[in-house]
Amino acid sequence: MQMAASFLCICACLLASIIMGGHQTTALQSEKDALLRLKEGFGNPRSLVSWNLTVNVSPCKSWVGIICDINSSSVIGLSLTGFRDLAGRRISPDIADLHHLRSIELPNNGLIGTIPPGITNLSCLEHLDISGNALTGALPLLWGNLSRLVILNLSDNRISGTIPTGLVGAINLRVLRLENNHLSGHIPDSIVDLVPTLITFNVSYNHLVGQIPRGFSKKFNDYSAFEGNPFLCGKPLRMACATAMAQTLPQQDDTRNPMNRDPNRPSPGKRRSSHKGPIIIASVLGGTAFLLGLMILCIVFSRRRRHTEANGGGATRQVQNWFSPDIQADRRRGTYKVFSRGFNYSYDELVTNAGYFDTAHVIGKGRYATVYKSQLPDGTLVAVKVFKFSNVGLCYEKDMELLASIKHRNLLAIKGFYANPVEKAIFYNYVANGTLYDVFHGPKISRDTRDDVLPDWALRQKIALGIAQAMAYLHRGCGYKILHRDLKSTNILLDADYNPRVSDFGLIHLVSGRAEPVETLGYTAPEVLSGKKHTEKGDVYSYGVVLLELLTGQRAVAYIGERAVKLAEWVMRLHDEGRGREVFDPIVVGTCQLPEQLDRYLNLAVLCIDVNPSNRPSMAEIANILETQCSSASPLRSPDCKANNPLLSG
Ligand SMILES: *[C@@H]1O[C@H](CO)[C@@H](O)[C@H](O)[C@H]1NC(C)=O
Ligand SMILES: *[C@@H]1O[C@H](CO)[C@@H](O)[C@H](O)[C@H]1NC(C)=O
Ligand SMILES: *[C@@H]1O[C@H](CO)[C@@H](O)[C@H](O)[C@H]1NC(C)=O
Ligand SMILES: *[C@@H]1O[C@H](CO)[C@@H](O)[C@H](O)[C@H]1NC(C)=O
Ligand SMILES: *[C@@H]1O[C@H](CO)[C@@H](O)[C@H](O)[C@H]1NC(C)=O
Ligand SMILES: *[C@@H]1O[C@H](CO)[C@@H](O)[C@H](O)[C@H]1NC(C)=O
């Protein structure tokens, strides 16, 4: 009886151990499978040849870099350091299937791609070190399951995006190393909650902006933990925060010149115009011509206002409806000239089809003009640019004829113009894709959509070359020497195939009513700002800024609070520190297979924005350099390079 009982007991224990053993084997088996998939993601490198199924022993004994718990035989550690044959490979999401991991150490392997978000499901994780790789993309957002995490070391990667507020979920974090990455945005205030446990904290050499949360600066008072973020301010950095910090890149309006947008077009080209306040700072106002202009302007406007009020007012907040009886009378006395064959319409027809220039037809507003869209009976779309200031230069008609005679495939052709004493207008073709500014920064571009809709590197090369050729033609090729004087991304239109069309060349002095330059913040060359004449090298400077916009995806001016930071100065600073490669737009890096080619473009842009005008190359030289880049054997070669060659088109 006793024997039978003990036999039963032994059986039960055996059974239990068999069941338990079976369970352990399947758990380990699934971890083994996950590791093999991880190895496959690493490209089955030689260094991991021991990770195979042919050896009938546990990975815990014979696989390199694997640490197991002796009691449960589950994989609790993964440690692969400096395995150069992993370079250029990715961390497979299968890593998240290693549920028992306490430690992941993969530093200095040259890994690329993103951190698999599933890693934050590994609730046993205590130590995560993926430093010294080439990882890109945003950090995982949710860290709430990593309550045991003690070390998070992501230093020396190319990780972009912001510091996720979700990091506060890692309540036991002692080491947080994020230095030498491309992180942007603010340091989230909520991260201050981690300060009591944190011992090491480093966010130096990123692109962080704004104020360092106060809770940090008390405990982490070594400025080296924050240095290398040009837009970061507050203690312990020396740069004080002047004003309450706003976001780094506010919607700035600007004198966009969108004779181009169709509010009903549902493509990436569709960008509603939004105008929140001019970024233009007119330099010192002066000159009798300008004062005279103001006086005429006042008279004209008061005349108009009286007129509108007589008609019941109400419309004063709207864009002026120019089609009023006194203007009709004036209109008959005006000059209407057409330069484009087949453009057989009267000015009245253009005005009628632009809804008598009412607000619904406005497609853009600039410093000096409002642009209306007009659709003609045959379906032709036209952009009509109507000047706000009717006191445009005395030689307006002659100048317009000259400007209209300049034709190049990358210049926006003037189809015709109209002028009378109170009203001046220019007609252009309507261009499908909006301005370069809109394409990069229009309201449809958000952090989430930009990767899908922004032009890739090949398209940006094409745009850069087209603009350079147009500018070279203006400066040297057209028989005259014409300075643009106001080159900027809002003056560059893109057609349906992203061919650039430079517009508004030579117009600014016609419409500003004076010869001295007017500053366009971010684009105007330093020597012009200090009062010297605008030469062709001034245009080259502006071109350099446009080229930087294409390379970095950033606006020409960013704001920190009320402080304006110029893109040109920011890039110059990083370039001088040997950190030029950090400025590139991730889309550019991701779609360009030749990093040295990007270096050449950046060097060229930096040369264009040299403070010394005589160091800047000419536009013809720039076009030539870009063209040879294009035609050198490269997988990025844009198919349009050859077609871009002839400067002059019909
Ligand atoms: C499996 O690993 C052993 C070393 O552990 C190695 O000798 C063998 O070549 C490997 N087999 C395969 C098919 O990779
Ligand atoms: C294994 O079990 C022993 C005894 O239960 C325990 O002392 C030891 O800490 C365990 N080892 C691990 C790695 O959990
Ligand atoms: C985390 O685990 C849950 C449940 O297993 C799963 O639904 C979720 O997709 C996982 N998260 C990630 C980012 O893999
Ligand atoms: C973090 O990574 C860096 C670079 O690989 C290394 O030097 C450092 O020892 C790591 N620190 C910790 C605490 O893991
Ligand atoms: C924690 O993990 C579970 C599944 O394992 C998942 O459903 C949950 O979303 C995670 N929570 C956080 C805050 O990450
Ligand atoms: C932060 O990281 C930078 C760059 O690696 C280093 O120079 C600096 O000494 C670190 N500072 C602290 C406080 O860890």
229 pLDDT above the threshold of 90: no
111 pLDDT above the threshold of 50: yes
Q: Provide mean pLDDT across the span 444-455.
A: 77
Atom of ligand 5 nearest to the CA of 121: 2
Greater confidence (370 vs 436) lies with 436
Q: Is the beta carbon of 49 within 6 A of some atom in ligand 1?
A: yes
What are the pLDDT digits (tens) for 285-315? 333 333 333 333 333 333 333 333 333 333 3
Contact present, 381 and 373 (Cβ < 8 Å): yes
Ligand 4: centre distance to CA 66 (Å): 20
Strands 127-129 and 103-105: parallel
| CA atoms of 166 and 149, how far apart (whole Å) | 13
Which strand ranges, in their side-by-side order, compose the sheet holding 414-420? 335-338, 414-420, 423-429, 381-387, 369-375, 362-365
DSSP string, 439-493: HHHSTT--TTTHHHHS--HHHHHHHHHHHHHHHHIIIIITSS----S---GGGEE
Q: Provide mean pLDDT across the span 360-376.
A: 81
3-state secondary structure of 78: strand
507 pLDDT above the threshold of 60: yes
15 pLDDT above the threshold of 70: no
Three-state secondary structure readout of 87-119: CCCECCHHHHHCCCCCEEECCCCCCECCCCHHH
What are the pLDDT digits (tens) for 581-594? 889 998 999 898 88
What does each C-alpha distance from 518 to 192, 374, 430, 457, 488 come to in angstroms? 45, 30, 27, 32, 13
Ligand 5 site-directed mutation target among 119, 142, 168, most atoms within 8 Å of CB = 142
Res. 371 pLDDT band, cuts 50 70 90 = confident
> Worst-scoring range by mean pLDDT, 1-15, 311-325, 531-545, 632-646?
632-646
What are the pLDDT digits (tens) for 141-193? 989 999 999 999 999 999 888 999 999 999 999 999 999 999 988 899 999 99
Nearest CA to ligand 3 atom 4: 121
Residue 194 is predicted with a pLDDT of: 93
| CA atoms of 450 and 245, how far apart (whole Å) | 25
Instruction: Work out the percent of the chain whose per-residue pLDDT is above 70.
Output: 74
Ligand 1: centre distance to CA 60 (Å): 15
CATH fold, domain 28-243, is 3.80.10
515 pLDDT above the threshold of 70: no
Q: Copy the structure tokens of residue 539.
A: 């245009």
Residue 331 is predicted with a pLDDT of: 57
What does each C-alpha distance from 262 to 217, 254, 320, 434 come to in angstroms? 50, 19, 20, 9
Q: Copy the structure tokens of residue 33.
A: 């499978």
| CA atoms of 58 and 47, how far apart (whole Å) | 18
Ligand 4: centre distance to CA 131 (Å): 7
Ligand 3 site-directed mutation target among 121, 124, 125, 143, most atoms within 8 Å of CB = 121
> Worst-scoring range by mean pLDDT, 187-191, 239-243, 431-435, 473-477?
239-243
648 pLDDT above the threshold of 80: no
Nearest CA to ligand 1 atom 4: 50
Nearest CA to ligand 6 atom 13: 225
Q: Provide mean pLDDT across the span 561-572.
A: 86
| CA atoms of 220 and 438, how far apart (whole Å) | 41
- Please check if 642 is assigned to a binding site: no
Contact present, 202 and 227 (Cβ < 8 Å): no
Which residue among the candidates 156, 486, 504, 640 is catalytic per the annotation?
A: 486
Residue 559 is predicted with a pLDDT of: 72
Q: Is the beta carbon of 129 within 6 A of some atom in ligand 4?
A: yes
Q: Is the beta carbon of 582 within 6 A of some atom in ligand 4?
A: no
Mean pLDDT value across the chain: 77
In the annotation, is 222 catalytic?
Answer: no
Ligand 2: centre distance to CA 100 (Å): 15
Q: Which residues line ligand 2 (CB under 6 A)?
A: 69-71
Q: Which residue has the tokens 């040259």?
A: 110
616-647: b (≥16 Cβ within 10 Å) or e: bbbbbebbebbbebbeeeeebebebbeebeeb
DSSP string, 543-593: HHHHHHHHHH---SEEEETTEEEEHHHHHHHHHHTT-GGGGS-HHHHHH-S
* CATH class of domain segment(s) 319-430: alpha beta
Nearest CA to ligand 1 atom 14: 49
Looking at residue 76, the DSSP 8-state letter turns out to be: E
Query: Residue 62: phi, psi to the nearest 5?
Result: -110, -10
Q: Is the beta carbon of 55 within 6 A of some atom in ligand 1?
A: yes
What are the pLDDT digits (tens) for 321-340? 444 445 555 555 677 888 87
Selection from 499, 470, 448 nearest residue 647 by Cα: 470
278-287: b (≥16 Cβ within 10 Å) or e: ebbeeeeeee
Residue 306 is predicted with a pLDDT of: 35
Ligand 6: centre distance to CA 224 (Å): 5
Nearest CA to ligand 6 atom 12: 225
Atom of ligand 3 nearest to the CA of 117: 13
Q: Provide mean pLDDT across the span 18-39.
A: 73
CATH fold, domain 253-312+434-650, is Transferase(Phosphotransferase); domain 1 (1.10.510)
3-state secondary structure of 426: strand
Query: Residue 560: phi, psi to the nearest 5?
Result: -115, 110
Selection from 141, 133, 82, 150 nearest residue 116 by Cα: 141
CA 641 from centroid of its chain's CA atoms: 24
Q: Which range scores top for mean pLDDT: 192-196, 279-283, 332-336?
A: 192-196
Q: Is the beta carbon of 52 within 6 A of some atom in ligand 1?
A: yes
Q: Which range scores top for mean pLDDT: 93-97, 285-289, 563-567?
A: 93-97
Nearest CA to ligand 4 atom 3: 131
Residue spans of the domains in the chain: they are 28-243, 253-312+434-650, 319-430
Q: Which range scores top for mean pLDDT: 336-340, 351-355, 409-413, 517-521?
A: 409-413
3-state secondary structure of 163: coil
250 pLDDT above the threshold of 50: no
